[in-house]
Structure 1
Amino acid sequence: MRVRIHRGTREIGGSAVELERDGARLLLDLGLPLDGDPDDATVHPAIEGLAGGGDLLALVLSHGHLDHVGLAHLAGPDLPVALGAATHRILKAAAPFVPRPYLPQRAVEFSDGVPLTFGPFTVTPHLVDHSAYDAYALEVAAGDERLFYSGDLRGHGRKAALFERLVRCAPRGVDALLLEGSCLGRLDPQHTFPTESEIEASFVDLFADTPGLALVSASAQNIDRMVSLYRACKRTGRTLVIDLYAAEILRATGNPNIPQSHWPNVAVHVPHYQRVQIKRSGRFDLLEAHKAHRIYPEALAELAPRAALLFRPAMLRDLDRAACLTGARAVWSQWEGYLAQPRGQALQADLATHGIPLEHVHTSGHASVPDLQRFAAALAPRALVPIHTFAPERFPALFGPAVQLREDGEWWSLAA
C-alpha cells in the first residue's frame, strides 16, 4: 500500500490522505485549512478522480468538522462518500441554517466496527471520543498491510470509555499509524485537559454565581458540551434555552440519551435571523417539532435569572430588545483563540458595552500527550507518522524510534 498525505504533516487542518493499492485509490478526509477559503483553488489538493468513474473508489470521512470535510464538495456526484450515519443526519439537519451546506450525493453510511469494502481496501471504523459527535478512527487493510488513521480523538470527554476500549483492544500488527498531534507544541507534554465532567462543574459554579441570564457561547454540534450544559442547568434550577438550529442538531443525533427540546428544563428560542431564514426557505416544518416548547422574546426577561441561553453574537440585538440582560454573564465555551480573531474581538467589545463580564470554560477536543503516548504504545505500529500537527519535530522525542516524518504530497510505501 502506498500513502500520500496531501495536507497535515506540518499543520492542523485541511486533512486529506490518499491511499493506493493494485491500481486502486482511496481517500480519507478532504478538509479545509483552518484559515482557508473553500473557493480558493490554491488550497484544493491535487487528487485525480474526484469527479468519480476512475480508479479513485471512494472518499471516507472520519467526522464532520470542517478541517476534515470542508472540501468534500469537490467530490463529484459519482464518487461514493462514506461517513457515519449520525454524521450524515447532522449534516442534513444543519443544511437549512448554514450558507454553504454540504450533503454527499452518493452517501454510504457506516457504523462502529462494521467493515466497508472498496476494491482492495477494507475500512473498519472505530468510534472515538472527540468534540465532534459520531467521530471515528479508520483502520484500513489491503492484502497483508494495515494502516491506522487516528482522525481526531481524545480520552477526557463524555465518551472517554471509547478511548480506553481502543487502548485496551488495540488492533495489532499495524504497519503505519497516522497519529494526530494537535496539542503538541502548544502545551507542556505532561499537561492534561479538564474532563467534560469538570466542565459541567465549572458551569454549575458560574450559574450559581450569576444573578441574571447566563449566555453560553458553544458549538451546538459539540454534543458533549450540550449534555454538560443541560446537566448544569438541571443542578442549578435553570432552563437551558436553545435555538432552532441546536434543537435540530440534537434531534439529528437519534440518541435518546441526548437532551431534546421536549425534555424538562429545555426551551426553544428562535432568534430573528433564524426566523428570516425559515421565511426565505419556506421550511416552516422545522418549527413544528419544537412549537410546544418554544419561548418568545417577551418571556425571556422573566425567565432570564433562571436560564442559560446557548448564545451566538447575532442574538445580542434580540436579547437587548427583550430587556433580559440585567445581571447577565457570558461564558465562552470554545477554543480561546477564536476570541483573538476579528469576530471574537467584536463580540468582546459588544459585551463590554453592555457591561456583561466574559468567562472562559472549555476543554480540548484533542488528546493530551500522555493519552497519545498510551494510544501509540497500545497499537505498537511499525511506523508512526505525525499528522494534524504544527510540531511534527516533537514526535521522535515523545514517541520513540518508530516515528517517520513525512512531507505533504510525498508518496511512501508501507513496505518501506
Structure 2
Amino acid sequence: MKIHRGTREIGGTCVELESAGKRILLDLGLPLAASDLASTPLPDVGGLGGGEDRPLAIILSHGHRDHWGLIPKASREIPLVMGRATESIMRAAADFVPEAIALDAVHYLEHARRMTIGPFSVVPRLVDHSGFDAYAMEIEADGKRLFYSGDLRAHGRKGSLFEALIDNPPRNIDIMLMEGSSLGRLSDDGTFPTEDALELTFADRFKNTAGMALVACSAQNIDRVVTAYRAAKRSGRTLIIDAYAAEILKATGQQSIPKPSTGWSNLAVYVPERQRRQLKARGIAPLVDTYRGFRLWPEQLAEQASRSVMLFRGWMMDDLDRANALSGASLFWSQWDGYLAEGTPGAALRAACEARRIPFEVVHTSGHASPRDLKRLAAAVAPKWLVPIHTFERHRFPRLFENVKLVDDGEWIEVGNEP
C-alpha cells in the first residue's frame, strides 16, 4: 500500500494498493491547494498515463473534486468504478460547472455488494457524508484486509449508516485508513450540530427574515438542500432553486429527495439570466421545459421574496438587483468558513452583502465526522494499524486513537505486518 497524497493534507487523496503484481487506486483527487488542473502533476503511479502496466481500476469513493479531480489527466484506458448516483450527478454537473466532467463507470459500487477486481475483493459500505452516494470500503487481497473510511460523518441525514457501521464493523482489519478532517477544528471530544438541528435554526431565521432568505450552499450537498427545503416548508416559504440544482436533485434518482416533479410542493425553479444564456449556448435550453408548473419568472421575484428561500450563489445577485427582490433580504452562508478567507469568492459575496446592508450569517455544519465519532469508529473497527489520511492534524492521532502508525506520502507499507 502507498498513500500518494493525504498523509499531511486534506484533499488530493490517492491510495495505491498492490497484490500479485496487480494494482488498483482508491481515489485520484485534486489537492485543495492546487491553483489549477493543468499545472498539477499526476502522482507517481506506474501506468497512470496508460500502457500495459496501468492499474486495473480507479475506485472513486464519492464525487467531491478532492477525490476525483485528477481523473481528466489519467489515461481513459483505466476503468473507473464509482456509485451509480455519483456518475449521474457528475454527468448533470458537467452541463453547468466549468471544471466538472462527465465520467463513465465500468462497475458501480453498491452497499454491501462484493465485487472482484483482479486479486482484490472490494465490499463498499454506503456512509453518511455531505457528498451524496459516498462509500467506505473493505478491501481484501492475499488474506490481508484493509478498511478505507473515505469521507464520512455521523450527524447528517443518513446518520443511521454510521451507527450501522459501528454496530457491524468490518472485522480483522490489518490497516484502517481513517480520515481526520475535523481534527483541529473542534476539541478532542467535540461534536458538530446535526442536520436536524440546522433545520430548526434555518426555520427560525427564515421566519424572522422580512424579505427573501438566501442560502449560500453547494447544490451537490444534497443533505443541506433537503435541510433548506424542510426549513422553508416549516416557515411557510417556498424553496427556489436554479436549473443546475434542479438537475442535480433529479440525478440522485431518489424519490425521497425534493425535485421539480409531481408530488413536490413548496418548490420553484428560477433560471438566472446567465444560466439561461449558458444553456442556450450548450444547446440544452429545452431542459427547462421539464420544469413546467414550477417556473418562477424575473417579474415575480420581488412579489414572492417575503415568502421564499433561494438556494443562492454570488453571481445571482445581479438578477435579484434587477428584479428589486433584495429588500429585507438576509444571507445565510452554509459552507465551510474557509471559503470566506480573504481573496475568495465567499469574501467577495460577504462584501457585496455589506454594501447592500444585507445581514450575513454563517449557519453550517461539517461534512466530516467529529473527533468523538472518529473515536467510536476506530474503537469499533479495532484495526491492527490505524493510519491517518485526509488530515492536516496527523500528530493528534496518537493521542486520540490506539495502534496509530504515521506514514508519509510515497511510502510503501506492507499490509498485514504486526505494528
> Normalised by the size of structure 2, how large is the TM-score?
0.96
Q: Of residues 9, 12, 20 in structure 1, which corresponds to 2:10?
A: 12
- Structure 1 match to 2:21: 23
Distance in 1, matches of 2:103 and 2:172, equals 33
- Letter of the 1:314 partner, please give it: W
Query: 1:298: Cα distance to partner?
Result: 0.2
- Letter of the 1:206 partner, please give it: R
Q: Secondary structure at the match of 2:16?
A: strand
Distance in 2, matches of 1:376 and 1:267, equals 43
- Structure 2 match to 1:100: 99
Query: 1:43: Cα distance to partner?
Result: 4.2
Q: CA RMSD in A?
A: 1.2
Q: Secondary structure at the match of 2:293?
A: helix
- Structure 2 match to 1:154: 153
Paired residues of 2:87 and 2:105 also in contact (CA < 8 A): no
- Letter of the 1:178 partner, please give it: L
Paired residues of 2:270 and 2:297 also in contact (CA < 8 A): yes
- Structure 2 match to 1:211: 210
- Structure 1 match to 2:191: 192
Q: Of residues 351, 354, 358 in structure 2, which corresponds to 1:352?
A: 354
Distance in 2, matches of 1:17 and 1:44, equals 13
- Structure 2 match to 1:143: 142
- Letter of the 1:185 partner, please give it: G
Query: 1:40: Cα distance to partner?
Result: 4.2
Distance in 2, matches of 1:105 and 1:93, equals 13
Q: 1:201 to 1:266 in 2, by over 3 A?
A: same
Q: 1:108 to 1:53 in 2, by over 3 A?
A: farther
Distance in 2, matches of 1:379 and 1:52, equals 38
Paired residues of 1:77 and 1:106 also in contact (CA < 8 A): no
- Letter of the 1:34 partner, please give it: L
- Letter of the 2:286 partner, please give it: D
Q: Which runs of no fewer than 5 residues in structure 2 stay unpaired?
A: none
Q: Secondary structure at the match of 2:150?
A: coil
Distance in 1, matches of 2:329 and 2:196, equals 24
- Structure 1 match to 2:87: 88
Identity fraction in percent = 54
Q: How many residues are treated as equivalent by the alignment? A: 413
Asked if 1:388 corresponds to 2:372, the answer is no
Map 1:167-178 → 2, pairs under 5 A: 167-178=166-177
- Structure 1 match to 2:312: 311
Deviations 1:197-243 (A, max 9, x none): 00000001100100100011011111111111111111111000000
Deviations 1:146-198 (A, max 9, x none): 10000000000010000000000001100000000011122211110000000
- Letter of the 2:366 partner, please give it: S
Deviations 1:338-394 (A, max 9, x none): 111422221111111111010110000000111001101111101000000111111
Query: 1:415: Cα distance to partner?
Result: 2.8
Q: Of residues 372, 390, 405 in structure 2, which corresponds to 1:370?
A: 372
Paired residues of 1:130 and 1:366 also in contact (CA < 8 A): yes
Deviations 1:16-64 (A, max 9, x none): 0000011000100000111213434444211111225425100000000
- Letter of the 1:297 partner, please give it: P
Q: Secondary structure at the match of 1:356?
A: coil
Asked if 1:35 corresponds to 2:37, the answer is no
- Structure 2 match to 1:275: 276
Q: Secondary structure at the match of 2:204?
A: helix
Map 1:36-115 → 2, pairs under 5 A: 36-50=34-48, 51=50, 53-115=52-114
Paired residues of 1:242 and 1:268 also in contact (CA < 8 A): yes
> Normalised by the size of structure 1, how large is the TM-score?
0.97
Distance in 1, matches of 2:186 and 2:375, equals 15
Distance in 1, matches of 2:401 and 2:226, equals 34
Q: Secondary structure at the match of 1:11?
A: coil
- Letter of the 1:145 partner, please give it: K
Query: 1:107: Cα distance to partner?
Result: 3.4
Distance in 2, matches of 1:284 and 1:221, equals 21
Distance in 1, matches of 2:152 and 2:52, equals 33
